[in-house]
Amino acid sequence: MSIALIDYGAGNLHSVHNALVKAGARDVVLAADGEVVRRADRIVLPGVGAFRACRDGLYALPGVVEAMGEAVQARGVPFLGICVGMQLLADEGEEFGSHDGLGWVPGTVRLIEPADASIKVPHMGWNDVTPATPHPLIVPGEAYFLHSYHFAAKDPAHVLATTDHGGPIVAAVGRDTIVGVQFHPEKSQSYGLSFLSRFLEWRP
């Protein structure tokens, strides 16, 4: 089984690579062009930092966005977006101006603005993953979060899990063979590694 790990210069690329291998992946290929994505049985989109910088990096890779769309829509390839890789699934992100996302999971990526001033932003640290919609990849537990923007989903049916940080925050979204997680499985010790194993074994 070949796993395409999209390589557009995301800071957590190697950590995700290490964690996938630890979780049991044998064939992780760094993908910087459409051809590699077309041959993949699984696709993982990492991402840290700003929405726009990640978006621009991703769209600069020749044929990758098209190949990802084709793989997911025509072949039903399981797809995992992590942190900003998850946020890129939205229609748009509002970090440093409004920018289009992939639009695969309807929603907008907005700044976390807690009403209570003692709630710190970035949302940084271990917090609950509370399942919202039953899904084979999502189990309750504690995972590591590190973000200032959050995914506001248009359709509640696409929210697979939430967490709480001065109010509910989306922890995972998904539809069909697509899953995006706001937390960092590659930094969530045993919870994260078992999540990645489930993704590797997932037969949607």
Residues annotated catalytic, as ranges: 83, 184, 186
| Minimum distance of another protein from residue 169's CB (angstroms) | 10
- What residues between 168 and 187 interact with another protein by CB under 8 A? 184, 186-187
How many CA atoms lie within 13 Å of 88's alpha carbon, on the beta-carbon side?
29
The answer to whether residue 8 forms part of the interface with another protein (CB under 8 A) is no
- What residues between 144 and 163 interact with another protein by CB under 8 A? 144-148
Report how many residues bind another protein under the rule CB under 8 A.
Answer: 42
Of these, 62, 76, 103, 122, which contacts another protein (CB under 8 A)? 122
**Pairing mode of beta strands 27-31, 2-6:** parallel
Is the CB of residue 172 less than 8 Å from the CB of residue 138? yes
- What residues between 40 and 99 interact with another protein by CB under 8 A? 48-50, 53
Nearest to 163 by CA among 135, 131, 190, 189: 131
| Minimum distance of another protein from residue 93's CB (angstroms) | 13
How far CA 52 is from CA of 28, 30, 157, 171, 202, in Å, comes to 26, 21, 26, 20, 30
3-class state of residue 64 by DSSP: helix
Given the rule CB under 8 A, which residues bind another protein?
A: 11-12, 14-15, 18-19, 22, 48-50, 53, 117-118, 120-128, 141-142, 144-148, 164-165, 184, 186-194, 197
